[in-house]
Structure 1
Amino acid sequence: MSLKSQFVAAAAAAVLAGSAFAGGADKILVRDQYARVSSPAAKAGAAFMQIVNQTDADDRLIGVRSDAAARVQLHTHKESDDGVMKMMHVEDGFAIAGGGTLMLKRGGDHVMFMGLTRALNHGDAVTLTLVFEKAGEVEVEVPVDLERKAGGHGSHSN
């Protein structure tokens, strides 16, 4: 393979690594995905991303799977009656309007890893299978980025 062909192949791989098209290729686009943990000894972590519904029909993200943790769930933050923010499992999943975008972000809706099966180190990748009510399953590679700052993805806060 020529140097030029290798460069083109590497560039194409980099573009594909930043987006997910498996399964619902013409229906769902996942971009700007990344995962974080709080420390090297962490037993939990989270993943964040933008999920674009490329159809005119409403859909719903109803589940998520990964071998990176014993349990992987869709979570959100909600303010309790005493003003304290609490994280909670969202059993019904998240609606995504036709043509709309779901933001999974810090301090809001996100993917939660509980009981990590391995350390998530900066530069690693985690494979997630996102399950949609209509679009089916979409597999996405999520890079572990422990250096991501606020503002690099929607309206994240540290």
Structure 2
Amino acid sequence: MNRRTALASIIALTTGLTLAGCSTSDSKPELKVTGAFMPQPVSDMAGGFLVVKNSGDTSDRLTSVTSPISDDVSIHETKNGKMRMVTSFEVPANGRLVLERGGNHIMFMKLKQQPKQGEKVSVELHFEKADPIKVDLLVKETTHAPKKQ
């Protein structure tokens, strides 16, 4: 009888510790987007740039971007001067994801229209954990290059 009681106690304790561990991992990323812009396109392609700040204790991943301006929107990384499409970018806990000229960015192909300087282009950012975020990219002059953040 003592063995059964001891075994039951161990199982209950283990289950309680496991559940307690699960409840603390429920924190979510806390994402905010700043500095969103698109240089005025000169062809049927364009780039999008922004910063995703995560003030939460949980990391996330940007997995895709959608926009009514194009049915072909992807995310690209730039390494050693070469650009290639990727499936996601990490948004570190208490950190940020920077999409900037000459670096990682959003790529719009086959634009349905060419936005002009001063207009806004609507996009929706999709994440692995956080809810989608709708952002307006302000169309800047073609050569616009803000200081690195």
Q: Which runs of 5 or more structure 2 residues have no equivalent in the other structure?
A: 1-28
Alignment length (residue pairs): 121
Q: Calculate the aligned-residue CA RMSD, in Å.
A: 1.7
The structure with the largest helix share of the pair is 2
Indicate the residue corresponding to 2:72 in structure 1. Answer: 71
Structure-2 separation of matches of 1:86 and 1:28: 28
CA contact 1:66–1:127 (8 Å) conserved in 2: yes
Which residue identity lines up with residue 126 of structure 2 in the other structure? V
Structure-2 separation of matches of 1:124 and 1:132: 26
Structure-2 separation of matches of 1:37 and 1:88: 22
User: Which of structure 1's runs of 4+ aligned residues deviate more than 3 A?
Assistant: 147-150
Structure-2 separation of matches of 1:48 and 1:29: 14
Indicate the residue corresponding to 1:50 in structure 2. Answer: 51
% identical equivalent positions: 31
What TM-score do you get using the length of structure 2 for normalisation?
0.75
CA contact 2:120–2:137 (8 Å) conserved in 1: yes
Q: Which has the larger radius of gyration?
A: 2
TM superposition shift of 1:130: 0.2
What TM-score do you get using the length of structure 1 for normalisation?
0.71
1:55-97 deviations in Å (ceiling 9; x for gaps): 1101110111001112000111123xxxxx2221112x10011
**Aligned pair 1:103/2:98, yes or no?**
yes
TM superposition shift of 1:107: 0.9
Query: 3-state SS of the aligned residue for 1:127?
Result: strand
